[in-house]
Structure 1
Amino acid sequence: MTTYALLGAVEHGLMFSLMALGVFLTFRALDFPDLSVDGSFPMGAAVCAVCITKGINPYAAVVAGGFAGAGLGFVTAFLNTKLKILNLLAGILTMIASYSVILRIMGMPNLPLLGYDTIFTPIENLGFSPQIAAIIFSACAAVLAGLFLIWFFHTDMGLALRATGDNMKMVRAQGISTDRMIFIGVSFSNGLVGLCGAIAAQSLGFSDVNMGIGTVVAGLASVIVGEAVLSSRSVLRAVIGVILGSMIYRMAIAYALSFQIGDFRFSPGDLNMITAVIVVAALTFPGMRRKVGVGK
């Protein structure tokens, strides 16, 4: 693997750790299988791209993308809590509908951002290359998001949200509104994914209606890899594990795509298969580690 590919894996690992933290919030903390993140990622990118092309500040455009993603999460929570639609199906319905909304927002399937200032431009003006600038910004964003999540999970609302994921009946018996916790958790999760989409659009230089395909799978892979590497015995370890898992996952993908034996090498079309293998390995690793420990 070349140095350029390694730096690219670090860049994407840090950048997409925001998305992985959002997936961790719903799938692990809230125990809510939310597939609407496949729609909130391109939604955040689309809103951000349109804002930038309209002359809005790139940082404000990122915030707008985050709110757009949170809006999709709100819709999913509404379908689940108020209309009593199964959480899995509610996420799928929101995801499907989001593509039509994204096309309406952008007016076209793909919206380029070449020639516009981005959130990385001030860092690039200091003399850094675009790739290093993206790594610096993504690292700062990942650290800030991780610290905020750690703080949030230790607040009364965060503890109530985690309790809702552990035992919803017990939480209701304590007088806590589980519907409210679902609204907060799913909206917050999709907001993080929307932020990630907005940052990714500026890094890639375009927004595309299909750029969210496989987002939830990549997020889950990052969460599972992180849990395999760093067991989630505490909130701090869990959050750090998600960020590390995102980086390890992207490095594994980069290594697999650069791997070659003779005339055989993987192509981008093999990405889904590679992801499946990584997830299977991460899921079986803890059990194998325990067996080795017992054997010793």
Structure 2
Amino acid sequence: MDFYLTTVTLGLCYSALALGIYISMKIFNIPDITTDGSYTLGGAVTAMMLTHHQSPYIILPAVIVAGGIAGALTGLIHTKLKINALLAGILVMTALFSVNLTIMGRSNIPLSNLPSLFSLVQVVADPNQNTFWILLVFVILITFLIGYLLKTDFGIAMRATGNSESMIRALGVNTDRMKISGLALANALTALSGYFFVQSQDFADINMGIGIVIVGLGSVIIAESLINWLRITSVWLSLVLVLGGAIVFQLVLAVTLAIGVDPNMLKIVTAVFVLLIVSLPRLSLLRSS
């Protein structure tokens, strides 16, 4: 039971990441690879500040700002320098590797003996359950804030920028500003995911972000498949399904390990699983035609 509770908890850690990927890839149609760097950035800032005995409550806004700056930088390179969004993300991600290593001072920082968000707040006695409930409250709060934002005039302008950039520009909306704000928000959420992960796992590693975009993308694709299948138009329900996708994705990997698959093959399993999710709707269309 603890094994699956830990898996669901890990899924909650990745929920903010999944929401960030949803904003960049599904609202703005931008394949943002900055994710790999901003996720590690969130973990690096958290680890560095924890080792300097800073409160997790002070670290939280610092992580959000750091991730937001990384995303805004990608947005500026893309919109102002007219560089392809994918390349802009790769450039910022590459630069962030050196930034993260400089922040951390070394490649790995253990945090097992340091106070964290999950040790300062005691909801229940069991540590695993305590982490789960605290993460659940944070995820619900984040989802509510993002859902509320997307319902405001600013959020509607962001969504319209992704749907029809030329139309919303004709209405006087600065689409460059929308893209920069959207990428800043997406990477702030990604960095927040790193903040949660580092404190729940008690370590930060310079390579923790490698391939993390696949985790977020897999979560979003699971949600998108359900959204299309059920023909959901509600923003709130779409966000909830994205969160559910993050948990389901981790449960699939957990079951894979539980049935005895070599952990060294986990990345291949991840890639194949995402490929299957992407391919199934297309295979169904081919079969029906």
Normalised to the residue count of structure 1, the TM-score between the two structures is 0.91
Q: Partner residue of 1:74? A: 72
Letter of the aligned partner of 2:128 in structure 1?
Answer: Q
Q: What whole-Å deviation, never above 9, does each CA across 1:35-57 have from its counterpart, x for those lacking one?
A: 00100001011111111111211
How far is 1:287 from its partner?
Answer: 5.5
How far is 1:268 from its partner?
Answer: 2.3
How far is 1:130 from its partner?
Answer: 2.1
Question: Following superposition of structure 1 onto structure 2, how do residues 144-155 of structure 1 map, counting pairs within 5 Å?
Answer: 144-155=141-152
> Greater CA deviation, 176-185 or 267-276?
267-276
Letter of the aligned partner of 2:174 in structure 1?
Answer: S
Question: Following superposition of structure 1 onto structure 2, how do residues 89-128 of structure 1 map, counting pairs within 5 Å?
Answer: 89-124=87-122, 126-128=123-125
Q: Partner residue of 1:263? A: none
Given the alignment, which residue of 178, 181, 186 partners 1:189? 186
CA contact (8 A) 1:46 1:65 kept: no
How far is 1:272 from its partner?
Answer: 2.0
Given the alignment, which residue of 157, 162, 172 partners 1:160? 157
RMSD: 1.9
CA–CA distance in 1 between the matches of 2:237 and 2:6?
25
How far is 1:225 from its partner?
Answer: 0.9
Q: Partner residue of 2:200? A: 203
Letter of the aligned partner of 1:248 in structure 2?
Answer: V
CA–CA distance in 2 between the matches of 1:104 and 1:286?
44
CA–CA distance in 1 between the matches of 2:124 and 2:11?
23
Letter of the aligned partner of 1:179 in structure 2?
Answer: D
Segments of 5+ residues of structure 2 without an aligned counterpart are none
CA–CA distance in 2 between the matches of 1:25 and 1:210?
24
Percent sequence identity over aligned pairs? 35
Q: Partner residue of 2:28? A: 30
Q: Partner residue of 2:274? A: 279
CA–CA distance in 2 between the matches of 1:175 and 1:269?
52
> Greater CA deviation, 231-240 or 67-76?
231-240
> Greater CA deviation, 167-176 or 115-124?
115-124
CA contact (8 A) 2:124 2:130 kept: no
Q: What whole-Å deviation, never above 9, does each CA across 1:156-205 have from its counterpart, x for those lacking one?
A: 11001001111111111111101100111000000001111011111111
Q: Partner residue of 2:224? A: 227
Letter of the aligned partner of 1:191 in structure 2?
Answer: A
How many residues are matched?
A: 286
Matched, 1:51 2:46: no
How far is 1:234 from its partner?
Answer: 2.1
Q: Partner residue of 2:241? A: 241
Q: What whole-Å deviation, never above 9, does each CA across 1:87-111 have from its counterpart, x for those lacking one?
A: 0000000000001001111111111
How far is 1:63 from its partner?
Answer: 2.2
Q: Partner residue of 1:268? A: 263
CA contact (8 A) 1:15 1:199 kept: yes
Given the alignment, which residue of 139, 157, 173 partners 1:142? 139
SS at match of 1:120: helix
Segments of 5+ residues of structure 1 without an aligned counterpart are 261-265
Letter of the aligned partner of 2:177 in structure 1?
Answer: R
How far is 1:276 from its partner?
Answer: 2.0
How far is 1:245 from its partner?
Answer: 0.4
Given the alignment, which residue of 7, 19, 22 partners 1:21? 19
SS at match of 1:94: helix
